[in-house]
């Protein structure tokens, strides 16, 4: 998700054409048997309402191989992990030496990571079920259009959709290792709601590379989480990673607005990284990932309900986002120029 946010994740948020969850889960069940977790959210009172949310647990098979191969040569351990996980979901670990090194590193640290990792595996069913039920309280038509997997992400993501090869299969992936690092407390369910919103939003809003698109998508996800989770803290809204975002952005609010205004339709990855990525080299004085907070303020400045905003397609959303930015710039009395009313023509 946001902590490992990159262009590949943006591309993974394309228009969701079909509701393929059931078919793919049935196919996976034929292969992995007991690894499908269906209805284990019964430990939570809220999970007793509505159909249980199905997902495939690939985190446990990784752990079993890690334990079973202790003391064996590193290359053998890596090969065993690949063989086991590829049999369950081909392509989740891409081919290449880089991935092999990441698997080896994960195996080396697994003894120290195991306790927190196991807590995620235990908590995830109820947390996912409760998150979806709470989300459906505001978005009653939501049903996940993608198969959901919990796995060891090798430090790559806490959550997000992706395309796997071969076949460009669209899946929703949650990384137990990164969830353990960032969401092992009261932020777990709000984080899941944030990711669930992206699936819902993609029914109406297609991915695009312009900076305003990314701010719009992430700002709405934060806004939706705040709407669903009454009284959510900045920690639960993911606005404190890697450090608090709100206060330092407020202190340089005019600079933040002018940065976005000058790059509103910019499609270069550097602009997106500066606003939304950890280590993305934001403007001097602004914190990493300041765009998540600015995006939230942008959606709030529209004066429209987040549900209504989430139904806007790209053509309808840009003028709304542009007007909200211009309004905030006027209120902040910035000296920079607002983005053009009309989007630049492609090419």
pLDDT at 51: 60
Kindly tell me if the per-residue pLDDT of 80 is higher than 60: yes
- 308-344, pLDDT tens digit by residue? 999 999 999 999 999 999 999 999 999 999 999 998 8
Of the candidate ranges 10-19, 83-92, 95-104, 160-169, the one whose mean pLDDT is the lowest: 10-19
pLDDT band per the 50, 70, 90 thresholds, residue 345: confident
Point out which residues pair with 47 in neighbouring strands: none
Contacts from 204-208 at CB under 8 Å and sequence distance 24+? 204/310, 204/311, 204/312, 204/313, 205/310, 205/312, 205/313, 205/314, 205/317, 206/14, 206/15, 206/313, 206/314, 207/10, 207/11, 207/13, 207/14, 207/15, 208/314
For 8, 109, 342, the CA distances from 119, given in Å and listed in that order, are 29, 16, 50
Kindly tell me if the per-residue pLDDT of 48 is higher than 80: no
Domain boundary assignment for the chain: 2-201, 211-332
Kindly tell me if the per-residue pLDDT of 78 is higher than 90: yes
pLDDT at 347: 55
Residues 6+ apart with CB under 8 A from 62: 81, 84, 85, 151, 152
User: Which is more confident, 217 or 21?
Assistant: 217
Q: What is the mean pLDDT of residues 129-152?
A: 96
Q: DSSP string spanning 65-134? A: HHHHTTTS-HHHHHHHHHHHHHHHSTTSS-SSHHHHHHHHHHHHHHHHHHHHHHHHHHHHHHHHHHHHHH
Helix (H) or strand (E) holding 42: none
Give the span between the Cα atoms of 84 and 78, in whole angstroms.
Answer: 10
Beta strands 148-151 and 169-175, pairing class: parallel
pLDDT at 16: 31
pLDDT band per the 50, 70, 90 thresholds, residue 44: very low
Q: What mean pLDDT, rounded, does the chain reach?
A: 88
pLDDT at 52: 63
Give the span between the Cα atoms of 240 and 229, in whole angstroms.
Answer: 17
pLDDT band per the 50, 70, 90 thresholds, residue 30: very low
CB 121 within 8 A of CB 181: no
For the beta sheet containing 159-164, the strands, ordered from the edge strand earlier in sequence to the opposite edge, are: 36-37, 55-57, 148-151, 169-175, 159-164
pLDDT at 19: 32
Q: What is the mean pLDDT of residues 179-190?
A: 97
Percentage of the chain with pLDDT > 90? 83
Cis ω for the linkage preceding 24 (within 30 of 0):
no
- 260-280, pLDDT tens digit by residue? 999 999 999 999 999 999 999
pLDDT at 343: 87
Kindly tell me if the per-residue pLDDT of 179 is higher than 50: yes
Cβ neighbourhood burial of 246 (10 Å; 0-12, 13-18, 19+):
middle
pLDDT at 344: 87
pLDDT band per the 50, 70, 90 thresholds, residue 173: very high
């Amino acid at each position: 998700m946001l902590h490992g946010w990159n262009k590949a994740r943006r591309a993974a948020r394309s228009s969701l054409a079909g509701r393929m969850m059931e078919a793919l889960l049935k196919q996976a069940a034929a292969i992995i048997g007991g690894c499908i977790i269906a209805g284990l959210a019964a430990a939570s009172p809220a999970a007793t309402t509505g159909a249980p949310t199905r997902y495939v647990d690939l985190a446990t098979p990784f752990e079993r191989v890690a334990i079973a191969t202790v003391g064996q040569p590193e290359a053998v351990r890596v090969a065993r992990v690949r063989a086991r996980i590829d049999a369950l979901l081909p392509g989740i670990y891409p081919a290449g030496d880089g991935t092999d090194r990441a698997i080896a590193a994960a195996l080396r640290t697994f003894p120290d990571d195991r306790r927190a990792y196991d807590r995620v595996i235990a908590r995830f069913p109820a947390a996912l079920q409760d998150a979806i039920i709470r989300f459906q309280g505001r978005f009653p038509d939501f049903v996940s259009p993608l198969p959901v997997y919990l796995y060891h992400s090798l430090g790559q993501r806490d959550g997000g959709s992706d395309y796997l090869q071969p076949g460009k299969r669209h899946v929703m992936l949650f990384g137990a290792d990164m969830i353990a690092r960032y969401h092992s407390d009261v932020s777990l369910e709000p984080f899941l709601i944030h990711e669930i919103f992206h699936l819902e939003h993609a029914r109406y809003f297609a991915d695009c590379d312009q900076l305003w698109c990314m701010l719009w998508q992430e700002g709405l996800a934060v806004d939706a989480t705040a709407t669903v989770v009454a009284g959510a803290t900045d920690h639960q809204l993911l606005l404190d990673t890697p450090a608090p975002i709100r206060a330092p952005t407020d202190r340089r609010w005019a600079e933040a607005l002018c940065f976005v205004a000058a790059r509103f339709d910019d499609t270069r990855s550097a602009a997106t990284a500066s606003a939304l990525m950890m280590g993305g080299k934001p403007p001097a004085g602004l914190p990493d990932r300041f765009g998540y907070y600015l995006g939230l303020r942008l959606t709030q400045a529209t004066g429209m309900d987040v549900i209504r905003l989430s139904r806007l397609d790209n053509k309808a959303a840009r003028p709304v986002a542009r007007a909200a930015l211009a309004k905030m710039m006027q209120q902040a009395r910035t000296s920079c120029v607002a983005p053009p009313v009309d989007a630049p023509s492609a090419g």
